[in-house]
Chain A
Amino acid sequence: MPAIECRNLTKYYGDVRGVEDVSFTVGDGEVFGFLGPNGAGKTTAIRTLLGFLSPTSGGGTLLGHDATDPVASRRARERIGFLPGDPGLDRDRTAEAFLDHQAALRGEASREQLVDRFGLDESRRIADLSRGNRQKVALVAAFMHDPDLLLLDEPTSGLDPLLQEEFASLVRERVDDGASVLLSSHVLGEVAALCDRVGVLREGRLVAVESVSDLRSRGGKQVRVRVAEDVERADFEVRGTMNLRVGETVSFTWTGGYDALIDLLSNYTVMDLDVVDAPLEEAFMTFYDGDVPGPTGDGGGGATRGGGASRGAAADAGGDAR
C-alpha cells in the first residue's frame, strides 16, 4: 500500500489554477520531494490531500484512506504529522499550553524527547519566541505522536542551518523507523539531501518526477567568484554557464562538472570563491522551460536577471542539458 496516492488532483480557486492534473505516488518508507518556486502549487496540493480544500476533480489516498472522505481521512490523520512552513500558533499562549492541546488531539509519545532534543523552552509565550523557536513548537507538534506519514510543507523555512541539519537527521531517523514523507521545498539542496524522488511543480502542473540521483546530475551550482584580473565577459560565456553577471564579482550558474569549473577558473587568480546549490528560481526552472508548451528559451530568460547575452546562453545551456 502506498503512503500517498494522488490521482489527477485538480484544484481551482475560482478561475485561478492551484494545481491541475497532479498524479504521483509516495511509496511506503519513501521520501518524496515537491520542488517548485513559490506559487507553483506545492502547498495547494498538500492542503488538498489533507482535506483542507476540496478538489475540483481527482483525488487521492493517504495511508490507504480516501483523502476526500472526511471520515476516512480522519482515520488517516491519526497517523499523520503535518508541519507547515509558517504555522499558525496562538501567540498569547505558552508553548506548553499549545503542545498540551495538540497532545490532547493527537497523542504525545515522543514529546519530551523532542522538546529536549531541540532545546525548546516550553514555558515561554509563543509571541515571545523567535521565528525559529516557533517553528520548533510546530515541529514537536508534528512529530510527537510518531506519525507514519509526514507532510512537511517548506518545513525548514524558519530554521537556522544547524537546526536544519538536526531536522534532517530527525526525518531520516523517522524514515529508518518506517515512516514515509512528502516534503515540499523551493531549495534544491534540501530536497536533494533528504528525498529519494522529486516531483517538480510548475504553475500547478507536475512537470517531472525523477529520482534525486538523476536530478543531481542535472542540477546547477551557483558560483560567485572574485578574481584579481579584469574579466572579459566572453571568457565566461562558455558551455555550462548560465545567468552570467560580470561586475566586481562574477556570478553565474554552473551546470557542468567541477573539473571543468576549476579549469575555467585556473586562468585567473581567485581572490574569493563561493559555490552553492543554485536556488530553483535561478537555475532549476530554466531546465524545465523547454518541457512545457509555449515559447522555449525565452521563458527561462524571464527567470534570469541578466542581459541579452545571458538569455541566449540560458537557452543554449537548456538545450544542452537535454
Chain B
Amino acid sequence: MSDRPAPWLAIARYDAAGRARGSLVVTGLLSAFLLLFLAFFPSLSTAGIDLDAYVEAFPPAFQEAFGIIAISSIEGFLAVEFYQFAWLLLVGLYLAYLAGGTIAGDVASGRMDLTLSAPVARRDVVIGRFLGLVPLVALLNLVLPVVAYVGVLAVGETIAVERLGAVHALAVPYHLTCVAVGIAVSTLVSRPGIAQRVALGALFALFMFESVVASTDYAEFGDLSPTAHYDPSAVLVLGEYDLTGAAILLAAAVVLVALAVVRFRRADLSG
C-alpha cells in the first residue's frame, strides 16, 4: 500500500520518538555541565597563573589526548575543558553505547521478530535504527552552541560565532561515525549488554591508540581512529577546519552502516 511510509523511515521515526525524553535530558545535562565549567573561567583567568606554560610542560601524548593547544583563552579553555572531553569523548562514547544496544537489543527481546514479520527488509532495520539516533546528534549540536554562546557572554567574554558553529558542524560527522560504530557492533555481537560495552570499548581503545601513537613514528596509524579526524581545539583556538577529516568520517559512517547491513542480512536471529 502506498499510503504507508517507507519502512526505514517508520523505524527511524519510532526509534527517535522513543528517545525524545532521554535526548532532552542528556542535552540538558550537557548544557549544565558546559555552564558549570564556564562559570569557573573568570576566576581561572584572573588568578595570575601562566596556564599555558603549565600545560606546555605536559608530555606530548597527554597534550595530544586532550587536544591541548592553549588553555588561557576562552576558546582554549572551552576546547580543553568541554569539547575535547565532553564532545569528543563523552558524547562519542555515549552514542556508540546507545547504538550498540539497538539491533542486538531488538533481537534479544524478540522485538525484531515482530518487526521482521512485517514486510520490512533487514536493510530497512539497520538504516532505520541508524537514522533513529540522528535527531539526538542534531539536537545536541544545535542546542549546545547556543548554550555555549550565551554562557560565554554571561561570563563577560566573547567568542567567534563562526568557530563555535564550526566546532559543532564538524562534530556531526564525528558523532554519526560513533553511532555507526555502535550499529556495526550491534549486528556482530548478539547480547545487547556486551554489544554496548564492545562498541564503547572499541571507540575508547581507538582514542587511546591515537593519543599514544601521535608522538611516535606510527602517527599515521592513529588516523584509523575516528577521534583523529575531529579536533575541537584546532577549530576553536586556531580556526582550522578539517573538512577532509569530516569527509573521511562521513564516508566511514556510510561504510560501517553498509557493513552492518551485509552482516545483518546473513544473521540468524537468535531470539
Closest chain-A Cβ to B183's Cβ sits at a distance in Å of 18
**Cβ of A52 and Cβ of B4 under 8 Å apart?**
no
Q: Does B49 contact A (CB under 8 A)?
A: no
- Closest B residue to A88 using CB positions: B110
**Cβ of A82 and Cβ of B117 under 8 Å apart?**
yes
**Cβ of A105 and Cβ of B271 under 8 Å apart?**
no
**Cβ of B111 and Cβ of A52 under 8 Å apart?**
no
- Cα A88 to Cα B117 in complex, Å, equals 12
Most buried by A among B13, B113, B115, B118: B118
- Cα A89 to Cα B111 in complex, Å, equals 6
- Closest A residue to B111 using CB positions: A88
**Cβ of B121 and Cβ of A88 under 8 Å apart?**
no
Chain A 19-61: CB-based contact to B (< 8 A → 1; otherwise 0)? 0000000000000000000000001000100111110000000
> Across the interface, which residues of A come within 8 angstroms of B268, CB to CB?
52-54
Q: Does B269 contact A (CB under 8 A)?
A: yes
Q: Does B112 contact A (CB under 8 A)?
A: yes
Chain A 68-106: CB-based contact to B (< 8 A → 1; otherwise 0)? 001100110110111010111110110001001110111
**Cβ of B269 and Cβ of A52 under 8 Å apart?**
yes
**Cβ of B118 and Cβ of A70 under 8 Å apart?**
no
Q: Does B47 contact A (CB under 8 A)?
A: no
Closest chain-B Cβ to A57's Cβ sits at a distance in Å of 15
Partner of B10, one of A52, A88, A92, A104: A104
- Cα A294 to Cα B128 in complex, Å, equals 51
- Closest B residue to A108 using CB positions: B4
**Cβ of B118 and Cβ of A102 under 8 Å apart?**
yes
Known: A74-B121, A104-B4. A50 touches B14 (CB 8 A): no
Interface size on B, residues (CB 8 A): 30
Chain A 116-138: CB-based contact to B (< 8 A → 1; otherwise 0)? 00000000000000000000001
Known: A105-B7, A105-B118. A90 touches B113 (CB 8 A): no
> Across the interface, which residues of A come within 8 angstroms of B14, CB to CB?
97, 100-101, 104
**Cβ of A107 and Cβ of B114 under 8 Å apart?**
no
Partner of B269, one of A53, A90, A100: A53
Chain B 64-116 residues near chain A, CB threshold 8 A: 106, 109-116
Q: Does A187 contact B (CB under 8 A)?
A: no
Known: A52-B269, A92-B18, A97-B14. A105 touches B119 (CB 8 A): yes
Q: Does A141 contact B (CB under 8 A)?
A: yes
**Cβ of B109 and Cβ of A88 under 8 Å apart?**
yes
Partner of A101, one of B10, B109, B110: B10
**Cβ of B122 and Cβ of A70 under 8 Å apart?**
yes
**Cβ of B117 and Cβ of A50 under 8 Å apart?**
yes
**Cβ of A93 and Cβ of B18 under 8 Å apart?**
yes
**Cβ of B111 and Cβ of A90 under 8 Å apart?**
yes
Partner of B114, one of A70, A87, A92: A87
- Cα A102 to Cα B13 in complex, Å, equals 12
Q: Does B57 contact A (CB under 8 A)?
A: no
Q: Which residues of A contact B (CB under 8 A)?
A: 43, 47, 50-54, 70-71, 74-75, 77-78, 80-82, 84, 86-90, 92-93, 97, 100-102, 104-107, 138, 141-142, 151
Ranked nearest first, the 4 interchain pairs of A and B with the lowest CB-CB distance are A88-B110, A82-B117, A88-B111, A105-B118
